[in-house]
Amino acid sequence: MSTQPSSRHCFVCGVHNPNGLHLRFVDDGDRTVRAEFSVPEQFNGYPGIVHGGIVATILDETSGRALLARGHDLRNLFVTLKMEIRYRQPTPTNTPLTAIGQIVKAGASRATVHGEIRLPDGTVTAEAECVVARPPQEFADNWEPERPYWKVYE
């Protein structure tokens, strides 16, 4: 397993984002990625329950990051075109959680990816299937200044 790079300001993985979730992702095979984390109470919807929008954000990031298991280059960053979420049960705050992302089907410019959030006992609280695509070149060009900061942080 190898640790995936993080950015500086991404809400999910950004190491310098004071309001972010600070998830760290590791490759768990050539088509799978994993993150172990806990969501602080400040991201709740109801007391003790992670807000559904935060759950969706984690699933979006996790499923898309499965493509980075093929290589950590910025060229492997895709954008989400479609996302279908299934909330199976409330996701608790302040609880150890695991997010797993997997490649379902991958092509050169589009892919289908899957993400899920699990409790310590393996119960899935939420899952998503996403269709992602390689972004237009101008998006990639705008990411270029971030390239020096796209790395594995200690």
Residue 147 has pLDDT above 90, yes or no: no
Identify which has the larger pLDDT, 146 or 95: 95
Fold for 26-135, please state it. Thiol Ester Dehydrase; Chain A (3.10.129)
* Model confidence, pTM: 0.94
* Gap between the Cα atoms of 99 and 119, Å rounded: 9
Q: What is the pLDDT of residues 33-50, one digit of tens each?
A: 999 999 999 999 999 999
* Gap between the Cα atoms of 127 and 85, Å rounded: 6
Residue 85 has pLDDT above 90, yes or no: yes
- Domain positions in the chain are 26-135
- Planar angle of CA 140, 142, 147, nearest 5 degrees: 75
